[in-house]
Amino acid sequence: MAPDMPGKLIQDPDWWRGATIYQIYPRSYQDSNGDGIGDLLGICQRLPYIASLGVDAIWISPFFKSPMKDFGYDVSDYCDVDPMFGSLADFDALVEGAHANGLRVMIDLVLSHTSDEHAWFVESRQNRDNPKADWYVWADPKDDGTPPNNWLSIFGGPAWQWDARREQYFLHNFLSTQPDLNFHNPEVQDALLEVTRFWLDRGVDGFRLDTINFYFHDAELRSNPALPKDQRNATIAPSVNPYNHQEHLYSKNRPENLKFLERFRALLDEYPAAAAVGEVGDAQRGLEIMGEYTSGDSLVHMCYAFELLSGQRPTASSIAAVFDRVHEAAADGWACWAYSNHDVMRHASRWDLSPQAQRLFATLMVCLRGSLCLYQGEELGLPEADVPFEALQDPYGIEFWPEFKGRDGCRTPMVWEKSNHTGGFTSGTPWLPVPGEHLSRSAEAQEEDPTALIHHYRRALSFRRAHSALVKGDQTPMQATDDVLCFTRSDDRETLFCVFNLSDTPSVADLPSGKWHSVGTELGSIAPGPDGRLHLGPWQAAIAIKTNV
């Protein structure tokens, strides 16, 4: 039996469906000890603020022991906290504090690979016949000494690194210091499930599963085919990265993954209300894989693909097309939508959004079917920071500079105050510079301004919670007419008709027949005009409701 969970949360096994999850990048959220790096106790200090937003859960990016070559996504000990973030006792305090504030806690599990400093890899690389010799993906070179196939790393170059001890190559889909685990070995699966149990027993409510479609590789090590140029896109990797030139049939997305996900879900089901969201990293088949991994009740609860994390500002027609594909590929699954995260340029800059457009996209998000992820600072409308090359920390940006500046611009510290150059993040020197233009958008400054974006986010999340049809209801196919997007959300109690003008020019839309009442005026939603039509201004929404009982 699972242990009693700390805190006062109701153990609703369905809490995740339609939930809003707030992502915290711990290095950059709040520093409690003045070393310039955010930590777990810093997050504890800010739990009341997070709860005030109206979110349901927090997702904390990795805080495990790590040499930090990829800032925690290279784990050297899955069952301990890196000293820069605190201790296990600090984590326990965080869970207790989150639960006391009505927040569930999800942590970022990086299962596809470890650091090369992990004890498992240190043992595995010693020779070819040690107990963990087959825990990672090792392969002999071709006769000419080159790697066994053409697989590429997302971080640039071949996905194979030569190891002189074993005179073999090992696979790394990311940095060469991040060797891939061999999921074809049942012992590896068992060890990772024990890691999962360790954190469940400490009271976590769920997991964000990093690179969920990378777990298995093709056992025959077949080379990936070339991807036609017209099918390439930069959703997963920047356009200058040759990773985009391959169709990744064999280096990821393998069918064997479904059996492991069944084992993972069975473990989570032993606990009252544990849930997981998977990150599907694939530029061509992301929605299809999301559908595969979330269908039924035996795999993961929800997944997110990268369609709304793309570089192009979404249009009415592009959003409708995404949801048409979701209906085709994942009608029985559950999506989790995000505009921003720690890996992409902040969407305020990526899509070049005016303040009015930022509000409209926030309103649109809370009306979508699925669960939601908000990235820290999104509620403040923070733009992407311009981090100079000499201050860069991200190896991805250093590799592809200047055509791709990496991920540091979305990872700069959270701004809490407007009164000092670090925005209240630290009393020391921050690990990344705090942009001066962020200070005027600090949480403190926005709390004092009733027209600020943070209040719109609070109202939008409150509106979603107040309407059951938005949380768990059905959604009709979207209709896109020019720049206007419309759809309905409904359950047994209510139906909401949602209309969004995604442009700088006014437009007109019509309500369906029926007895509709306007709602959402606090979000800028308009009522029909004297002619009964919806006269939408630029970046304006209209939401109407009718009861079904």
Where is average pLDDT lowest: 169-173, 280-284, 366-370, 439-443?
280-284
> So what's the pLDDT on residue 60?
98
Contact 42, 58 (CB under 8 A): no
In the numeric block, the tokens 């690179």 are attached to: 211
DSSP assignment string, 348-365:
HHHTT--HHHHHHHHHHH
Q: For domain 20-112+186-464, which architecture applies?
A: Alpha-Beta Barrel (3.20)
- Which amino acid type is present at position 422? T
| Reported confidence tier of residue 8, pLDDT bands at 50, 70, 90 | low
> So what's the pLDDT on residue 416?
98
What are the domain boundaries of the chain?
A: 20-112+186-464, 473-547
> So what's the pLDDT on residue 239?
86
Question: Please, what CATH class does the domain formed by 473-547 belong to?
Answer: mainly beta
Measure the CA angle with vertex 399, ends 397 and 400; round to 5°: 70
The residue that leads in pLDDT, 266 or 4, is 266
Mean pLDDT of 366-395: 97
- Residues in contact with 531: Cβ distance below 8 Å, sequence separation at least 6, in sequence order: none
Say if residue 1 is exposed, middle or buried (CB neighbours under 10 Å; 0-12, 13-18, 19+).
Answer: exposed
Of 50, 94, 37, 30, which Cα lies nearest the Cα of 415? 30
| Reported confidence tier of residue 1, pLDDT bands at 50, 70, 90 | very low
User: Which runs of consecutive H residues, i.e. helices, occur in 375-513?
Assistant: 395-400, 436-439, 443-447, 453-466, 468-472
Tens digit of each residue's pLDDT (9 = 90 or more) over 410-461: 999 999 999 889 999 999 999 999 999 999 999 999 999 999 999 999 999 9
Where is average pLDDT lowest: 57-66, 232-241, 353-362, 406-415?
232-241
Of 112, 490, 487, which Cα lies nearest the Cα of 326? 487
Q: Is 185 helix (H, G, I), strand (E, B) or coil?
A: coil
* Average pLDDT over all residues of the chain: 96
Mean pLDDT of 102-120: 98
> What size, in residues, is the chain?
549
| Predicted model pTM | 0.96
Q: If DSSP states are collapsed to H, E and C, what string results for 25-50?
A: CHHHCCCCCCCCCCCHHHHHHCHHHH
CA distances from 315 to 115, 326, 361, 509, 537 (A): 40, 17, 11, 16, 16
**Residues identified as active-site:** 210, 270
Tens digit of each residue's pLDDT (9 = 90 or more) over 22-68: 999 999 999 999 999 999 999 999 999 999 999 999 999 999 999 99
Where is average pLDDT lowest: 4-13, 349-358, 420-429?
4-13
> So what's the pLDDT on residue 5?
38
Tens digit of each residue's pLDDT (9 = 90 or more) over 63-98: 999 999 999 999 999 999 999 999 999 999 999 999
